[in-house]
């Protein structure tokens, strides 16, 4: 496939973002992720293929419409007794998206759109004046952006050719040789270090952590700026023992230290998306907010006591992070 024909599956494009890199940014979310974190707020990001979501409260019913059932070639539309769509039979669904195209009420939504590199770059370049005035750029996110490796590389090459600051947010559970190929085209990396225990990591993400820590160590040897994020999930990875283990890894194994370590608070988000995809939402309990905030700040203190630039949240200014001369 030629560069001009290169395409991928995008499930969201966010403009004017300020939390995932310097300045004001355009953020491209690519579909597919090798991990399935129990607290994931974007379940539509996990499957690399397009998939329909059902929003039952928007359906106007078989009496007034029925276009989705007419469009579906496999009879995958499931209705309740009054004729309103209630689900998709995922075993029958072939992901042709004819139902979502036919629905006039947005009761059926296509999670994921096939876009060419030309189409994505058109979206990005529309925001270029704002990026340049603010010192911003483009962030590629997921899911896991490197799962669509060829598409990501083509977009990174085009952004580099336009002189745009680039950031890749990655789960790091990716082949090291592919990660290495992104380095000359990437100005900033953002990644999670969730748990020092591979057993616990596998229990709540579906994958061990060995490859993630290997890739984190590699990135620290490249000299590229890095932001490390630690999502704090009550009852999973919020112990002092875990944070001290991650701290020791950063201090002893990472050659270049992160420009910032961000502790991200767990929030119950994305429940409606799970319902639309016919998936259960597992994180039904939420901690006492005041106690949880205090605990977060105590964990941050374990990092700052060791001289590491740790903060609660992702909104604090980052010392030393700039896009001046980003391509050196």
User: What is the model's pLDDT at position 256?
Assistant: 92
User: What is the model's pLDDT at position 288?
Assistant: 84
Q: First-to-last CA distance in the chain?
A: 30
Q: Which of 176-180, 266-270, 314-318 has the lowest mean pLDDT?
A: 314-318
pLDDT tens digits, one per residue of 9-19? 999 999 999 99
Q: What percent of the chain has pLDDT over 90?
A: 87
Rounded mean pLDDT, 72-81: 93
Structure tokens at 321: 């992070």
**Residue whose C-alpha is closest to residue 50's, from 113, 116, 141:** 113
**Residue whose C-alpha is closest to residue 69's, from 114, 108, 111:** 108
Domains and CATH numbers, the chain: 3-47+113-312 (3.20.20.70), 51-111 (3.30.70.20)
> Distance of alpha carbon 172 from its chain centroid, rounded?
12
Residue 128 near residue 97 (C-beta atoms within 8 A): no
pTM: 0.92
3-state secondary structure at position 318: coil
- Does the structure show a pLDDT above 70 at 208? yes
Residue with tokens 């630690």: 230
314: confidence class by pLDDT, cuts 50, 70, 90? confident
pLDDT tens digits, one per residue of 251-275? 999 999 999 999 999 988 899 999 9
pLDDT tens digits, one per residue of 15-50? 999 999 999 999 999 999 999 999 999 999 999 999
φ and ψ of 270, to 5 deg:
85, 10
- Please give the Cα distance from 90 to 81 (Å, whole number): 20
3-state secondary structure at position 282: coil
20 contact partners, CB below 8 Å, separation of at least 6? 27, 139, 141, 167, 169, 190, 314
Rounded mean pLDDT, 176-183: 98
214 contact partners, CB below 8 Å, separation of at least 6? 176
**Residue whose C-alpha is closest to residue 112's, from 23, 65, 62, 43:** 43
Give how far Cα 139 sits from Cα of 23, 26, 142, 148, Å. Answer: 11, 6, 10, 15
């Amino acid at each position: 496939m030629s560069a001009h024909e290169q395409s991928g599956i995008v499930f969201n494009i966010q403009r004017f973002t300020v939390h995932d890199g310097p300045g004001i940014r355009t953020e491209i979310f690519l579909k597919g992720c090798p991990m399935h974190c129990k607290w994931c707020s974007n379940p539509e990001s996990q499957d690399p293929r397009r998939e329909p979501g059902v929003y039952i409260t928007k359906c106007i019913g078989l009496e007034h419409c029925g276009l989705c059932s007419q469009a579906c070639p496999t009879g995958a539309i499931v209705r309740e007794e009054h004729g309103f769509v209630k689900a998709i039979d995922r075993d029958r669904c072939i992901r042709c998206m004819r139902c979502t195209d036919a629905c006039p009420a947005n009761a059926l939504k296509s999670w994921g759109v096939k876009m060419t590199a030309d189409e994505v770059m058109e979206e990005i370049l529309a925001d270029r004046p704002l990026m340049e005035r603010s010192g911003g750029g483009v962030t590629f996110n997921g899911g896991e952006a490197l799962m669509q490796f060829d598409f990501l590389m083509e977009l990174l090459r085009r952004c580099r050719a336009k002189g745009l600051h680039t950031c890749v947010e990655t789960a790091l559970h990716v082949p090291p040789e592919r990660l290495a190929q992104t380095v000359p085209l990437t100005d900033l990396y953002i990644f999670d270090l969730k748990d020092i225990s591979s057993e616990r990591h596998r229990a709540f993400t579906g994958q061990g952590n060995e490859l993630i820590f290997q890739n984190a160590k590699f990135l620290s040897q490249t000299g590229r700026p890095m932001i490390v994020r630690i999502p704090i999930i009550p009852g999973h990875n919020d112990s002092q023992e875990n944070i001290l283990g991650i701290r020791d890894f950063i201090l002893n194994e990472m050659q270049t230290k992160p420009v910032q370590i961000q502790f991200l608070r767990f929030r119950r988000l994305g429940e409606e998306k799970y319902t639309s995809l016919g998936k259960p939402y597992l994180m039904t309990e939420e901690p006492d907010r005041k106690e949880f905030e205090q605990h977060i700040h105590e964990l941050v203190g374990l990092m700052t006591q060791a001289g590491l630039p740790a903060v609660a949240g992702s909104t604090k200014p980052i010392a030393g992070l700039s896009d001046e001369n980003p391509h050196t």
